[in-house]
Structure 1
Amino acid sequence: MDDDKVRMTVGEVRELAETVLGRLGLAEPQVNAVAATIAAGERDGCTAHGLYRLLVCAHTIRAGKVNPDAEPRIHDPAPGVVRIDCQGGYAQIGFDAGRPLINDKARRCGIAALAINNCIHFAALWPEVEALARDGLVAFAFTPSHAWVAPAGGTAPLFGTNPIAFGWPRPGPHPFVFDFATSATARGEIELHRREGRRIPLGWGLDPDGDPTTDAAEALAGSMLTFGGHKGSALAAMVELIAGPLIGDMTSAESLAADGGAGASPLGGELIIAIDPEGFLGGAAAGHLTRAEQLFDGITGQGARLPSERRYQARERSLAEGVEVHAGLLKEIEALLDGTLTA
């Protein structure tokens, strides 16, 4: 173990997250749901979505941007649609409330949509699509964020990091899952580079004058860039539309305006689409899902890596050996508990 790292079990990570979130004033349902997501991020080697996010949560809660006692309200507008109003709470409680409903509707209708409205986002989307894929459904998830990302050819922030996630059920222990921001990288990755004094690659962001930069702080003050130029930009615009106006929620620019300079986590919506293969194929679904395995075999047979493969490997390793957390980060988290860090 490096001198500046501390080894913890995944259970200890979750217990620490629960303690901090409870101390910050969240009610138990949100404590449990948010801590599970943070622990999953640390467990799977996604440190930008792990314990570091406690600092983000603390700042957002103390800025008054989270309803600590939020109780999701469920709306049933159509046979294949569920709407969950999170009442200003974290998105995780909305997904927990909506998961059994979208499961049921997808199996009855073949396809169903879950709109999670008025929620706070701070994490990746793979936990949602992985959970639904483990339920045997094909799943998509989308959400805007704050306006941090310039469109291709522009220099002013307009889009959020706007992730897209997809899950496909497979035989064996793990579904096929990918989750990526439509920005060149997640904002949390740039923030971690800033905290650790590391340069960022060219292509991640622009400085406040609109010039390319490798300085993480300058990119955070300026604008991030989409991946793949105009292609990533088009996907980012799609996410703005289908997880914003389509479900009656905010765009990234509107979320940033509502933040009012607080620097809190984004407020807005999330759209999840779930498809039951049997809805299209009936009793033939299992055979076609088996046939789909030829695609995965074709990928790995060339020595290529499937998305999430490294996450699953990290998960297995973390559950057996624990995780290593920077001692400096743990000191900041401890300061949250004793009140010396205001986040």
Structure 2
Amino acid sequence: MDDTLALSLEEVRTLAHRVLARLGLSERQIGPVAETIVAGERDECGAHGIYRLLSCAQTIRAGKVALDAEPAVHDMAPALVRVDGGGGYAQLAFETGRPILAEKARRCGIAALGLNNCVHFAALWPEVEAMAAQGFAAFAFTPSHAWVAPAGGTRPLFGTNPIAFGWPRPGKPPFVFDFATSAVARGEIELHRRAGKPIPLGWGLDPEGNPTTDAAAAMAGSMLTFGGHKGSALSAMVELIAGPLIGDMTSAESLAADDGAKVSPLGGELIIAIDPNGFLGAAAAEHLARAEQIFDGITGQGARLPSLRRYEARARSLANGVRVSKKLHDDILAQLD
């Protein structure tokens, strides 16, 4: 028995708009929020697709999102800009700051955008892919809630703390990677819990600090970083550069502000854009072409090049639509009641 449902991308978009509008989100926020949900489903990143409408519903109903937030731009320096999201979703804050970041990076060669006071629920690859599509090398970082234990520890301190990078490829989609510094994104554990499936060892600890394959126990206990102390160090870096460095909360502070609501994190995001022309001038095209040797060297030996799987999935979805869990779809439709 098929437990999935076929949807076109336009149907996914319409569903996202309907649910977000029913929840009272302003029209200005609905557009960019919905597009990140469509992008997740389109690229077969199920943990960042329509499933995220459930977390939006929970967060909004808990009063943890400013429904009519209007981002405020603060031009800090020739190569620095901050956008205060006003307690709204990060997508609108990024869309507000993106053209300013691009202009500053072109003028200075490198620039940084700090997003403050934003609710985060999505992956970071949409941000770096958008910047790389404009010709920049780009990085993005954000803390979350304190769900992750440091290496050797047993209590949550870090967030999932993703790191994303984008690289422009002339005539081709950008090279992009985006990974949590936790062993897996929290949404993946939640999808396992919903499906009643065990998680692999190494993903999390139960509330007593013991390794577990029980998704619910890991959600109640703590997640683990990838790569032991290496992932833990990177997670600490994200806490610092996308928290105190830009005047925003750490993951522990975000969880404290959540105050038991168990909703999406509130905090900051740091996005850095580098213009190859700033270093290379007229030689930029030559050196970007040299970079293609690296990508050819990866794929030429049958190794996986990050981002290619998403682009292949994107082509399929654009041609054929997507399939989603019927149960998940029903749970989302229930938000319209």
TM above 0.5 = yes
Residue 278 of structure 1 aligns to a residue in which SS? Answer: helix
Q: Separation in 2 of the partners of 1:309 and 1:55?
A: 28
Structure-2 residue corresponding to 1:121: 120
Residue type of the alignment partner of 1:27: S
> Secondary structure in 2 aligned to 1:12?
helix
Secondary structure, aligned partner of 2:169: coil
Give a deviation string over 1:267-312, Cα, whole Å, max 9, x none: 0000000000000011101100001101111111110111011111
Letter in 2 for 1:334: L
Q: Which residue of 2 aligns with 1:250?
A: 249
Whole-Å separation in 2 of the counterparts to 1:264 and 1:205: 20
- What residue is the counterpart of 2:92 in the other structure? 93
SS of the equivalent of 1:15 reads: helix
1:341 matched to which residue of 2?
none
Per mean C-alpha deviation after superposition, the further-off stretch among 252-261 and 170-179 is 170-179
Aligned residue pair count: 337
Does 2:226 match 1:227? yes
| Matching residue's letter, 2:235 | A
1:50-65 aligned at under 5 Å gives the runs 50-65=49-64
The answer as to 2:21 corresponding to 1:22 is: yes
Q: Which runs of 5+ in 1 are unaligned?
A: 339-343
SS at match of 1:320: helix
Measure how far apart 1:238 and its partner are. Answer: 0.1
One-letter amino acid of the structure 1 residue matched with residue 153 of structure 2: G
Amino acid at match of 2:291: A
Per the TM alignment, residue 173 of structure 1 is displaced from its structure 2 partner at its CA by 3.2
* Aligned equivalent of 1:300: 299
Query: Which residue of the partner structure matches residue 290 of structure 2?
Result: 291
**Cα deviation, residue 334, structure 1:** 1.1
Which residue matches 2:212?
213
SS for the counterpart of 1:118 is strand
Amino acid at match of 1:53: R
Matched, 1:75 2:62: no
The answer as to 2:141 corresponding to 1:142 is yes
Q: Normalising to structure 1: TM-score of the pair?
A: 0.98
Name the structure 1 match of 2:8. Answer: 9
**Secondary structure of the corresponding residue to residue 175 of structure 1:** strand
The code of the aligned residue for 2:265 comes to P
SS in structure 1 at match of 2:255: helix
- Partner Cα separation in structure 1 for residue 252 and residue 92 of structure 2: 24
Take 2:124 and 2:114, find their aligned partners in 1: how far apart are those partners?
14
Q: Which runs of 4+ in 1 moved over 3 A?
A: none
Identical residues among aligned pairs (%): 75
- Match of 1:185, SS? coil
CA apart distance, 1:172 = 2.5
Q: Output the amino acid matched with 2:156.
A: P
Deviation at 1:4, TM superposition (A): 1.0
1:219 is aligned with what amino acid? Answer: A
| Aligned residue type for 1:292 | A
CA distance in 1, matches of 2:108, 2:170: 24
Q: What amino acid is aligned across from residue 201 of structure 1 in structure 2? A: P
The yes-or-no answer on 1:174 pairing with 2:182 is no
SS in 2 for 1:174: strand
Name the counterpart of 1:36. Answer: 35
**Paired residue secondary structure (1:7):** strand
How far apart in 2 are the matches of 1:35 and 1:206? 33
For 1:8 and 1:196, the matched residues in 2 are separated by 21
Q: Please report the TM-score for the alignment, with normalisation by the length of structure 2.
A: 0.99
In the aligned structure 2, how far is the partner of 1:105 from the partner of 1:334? 43
Task: Give distance in 1, aligned partners of 2:196 and 2:312.
Answer: 28
Distance in structure 1 (CA, Å) of the matches to 2:2 and 2:125: 32
CA distance in 2, matches of 1:314, 1:299: 20
Q: Distance in 2 between matches of 1:334 and 1:212?
A: 36
